Amino acid sequence: MSPAANKEVEHLLAGRTRDIQLSPELTRRFRDRSWPQMSKIVRAWMIWVVVLDLSTLAVNAVLLPTETVRLMFAPASILIPAALGSQFAFRKPRPLWVQGAAILLGLFLILMSVALVGVSAGGEFYERHLTIMLFVAVTAIIIFPVPFSWTMSIAAYALVIYLAFQMSNPMIGRGSALAGALFFATGVIATVAARHTANILAYKTFLLVLRDRMRLDELTDTNARLELLARTDPLTGIANRRWMIETLDQVWGGDGEQTQGNAILMCDVDHFKQLNDRLGHAEGDRCLVKIAGIIQSSLRDERDQVARYGGEEFLVLLRNADEKVAAVVAEQIRSRVEAASLPNPLSTTCPYVTVSIGVSVTEEGEHKVSADALQRQADEALYRAKQGGRNRVAIFPTVLAKARCGEGG
């Protein structure tokens, strides 16, 4: 939802329940959410009315004189198409005005049908069917979870139909007709008020669901951010040691061993302490950020991952890589760092920042090598690169020496 809608939800829930009025956006969302339930209720009620009408006609055909049944049949036949038409309109979502027209017109015809059955038959059936008509209207008001304006319309024309026919009833006077209409009006009005209260409570339940969902979303977002922070190095923005350890565990599987060809690169910044001592820690941090970006840009694709593994140490995982591929990636990292010409005045290797890289590879089809063992081999290769003069790439168990700065490297 929009921030304004979120704010409105909190505002409405903070106020009195009876004052709840939904904005257009929340009204639309409420209708979308309540549509399946409303549709089932309306369609079930319409079918119930049809079944009741047919059952009543069948019973009347058995118990009443043929002439009386004949008089009832024509107005009673109005009900069935009206109810089935309204039921059809609610089989799938339609524009609100279509739904409103269908239910209001359908109910009007149903109420008229019930009333006209009694009026046509006359006698004792006259007032009885008008009372039944009000009962049908009241059940619709109680059961239908529709907009309150629809409810008011149903109540209004039910009372109008009752009063109009009662005023023409030859068996009672106008005073009795008005008294009866007022009596039934109080019951209908009370039913409308109850329906209004039910609507407000439905709105409040809807708002509570929205608020719970908002809070759950906020909690999920917060947890996701915390999880990201827990797995990300705050300085360089790349993954941290914890994330890399979990990734290695996933790649190597539950037993910590596998035979798929993978490589690990241990990259260490040469003479990093001297850089911090001479240029300051701020420059050292800037250097680490630059190197992290260079390493990331040197990886092949999303198969490869890099993490800051220590202070100035980076671990690179190359999936499905043989020794040749690993050597190419490692040399690309080394040469790009040197080419960046980041100053390191106290370095005995080069006046610029350089890295030494140890590489360890487990070829596909070889004996099983654990992730821990592969890291130890990469560390040993890194040690050899350092011992060999730094600014070099060493592959376990052999060393690929790269010339020092200024010696063709």
Catalytic residues, by residue number, are 312
For residue 74, what are the contacts with CB-CB under 8 A and spacing of at least 6?
120
> Which parts of 287-339 are beta strand (E)?
305-308, 313-319
Q: Is the dihedral of CA 311, 388, 391, 321 positive or negative?
A: negative
> Is 85 within 8 Å of 101 (Cβ atoms)?
no
H helix count then E strand count, the chain? 12, 9
Neighbours of 109 (CB within 10 A): 17
Query: Roughly how many angstroms between the first and final C-alpha of the chain, as a whole number?
Result: 58
Alpha helices in 21-95 (DSSP H): 24-63, 66-89
151: helix, strand or coil: helix
Q: Is the dihedral of CA 124, 174, 77, 73 positive or negative?
A: positive
